[in-house]
Amino acid sequence: MSSTCDHDHDPSGLGGAALARALQGAEARVAEAGERMTPPRRRVLSLLLESGEPVKAYDLIARFGEDGQAAKPPTVYRALEFLERQGMAHRIASISAYVACSGGAMDAGSQPHAAAFLICDCCGATREIEGPDQAAIDLAARSAGYAISRTTIEAHGLCQACNEAG
């Protein structure tokens, strides 16, 4: 996402050793689940982690190749679908973008959770917060006859920097 406001924001993406640790944790978690972290899945996750903010799928496609070559769209979309199923990435529908989970999903033994996001309407900054109790959501859904596969809550407003600058 690009900033449309005229004040500074702190970057939140991972790099160096922190990025390597997150990717190692993700690989261990995927292996624990009996799945494989293929090179395309790893590359898409790496791009999301490095960004630290929501990224549109077409931006991931454009940045995918290490040599500047774009990926074929199905490659990136399949990787995103896998990462979502594993709880390592979330789709933020209201801005049509994807973000790496910051709720510990890269740790071995972690479980998918109800994702909740605060989204700044000025600069596009997005922050994952602790979502509501997934068990309560599942119970309410079951009593209504639903089977939930994934929960994402989106709240729009202004981040602290935009609120203070306004």
Output the CA torsion sign for 29, 34, 36, 41. Answer: negative
Check residue 10 and give its pLDDT: 64
pLDDT tens digits along 74-92: 999 999 999 998 889 999 9
Check residue 106 and give its pLDDT: 64
Check residue 164 and give its pLDDT: 87
pTM of the model: 0.82
H and E: helices and strands count for the chain: 6, 5
Closest residue by Cα to residue 12 from 98, 153, 127, 129: 127
3-class DSSP state of 20: helix
Check residue 36 and give its pLDDT: 95
Q: Per-10-residue mean pLDDT for the chain, 166 residues long?
A: 59 85 92 93 95 92 82 93 92 93 65 81 87 82 88 90 85
What does the alpha-carbon distance between residue 156 and residue 94 come to, in Å, rounded to a whole number?
9
C-alpha distances out from residue 76 to 45, 61, 65, 80, 92, Å: 10, 6, 11, 6, 16
- Cα dihedral 48, 49, 53, 57, rounded to 10, equals 0
What does the alpha-carbon distance between residue 89 and residue 82 come to, in Å, rounded to a whole number?
9
Check residue 108 and give its pLDDT: 56
Check residue 105 and give its pLDDT: 62
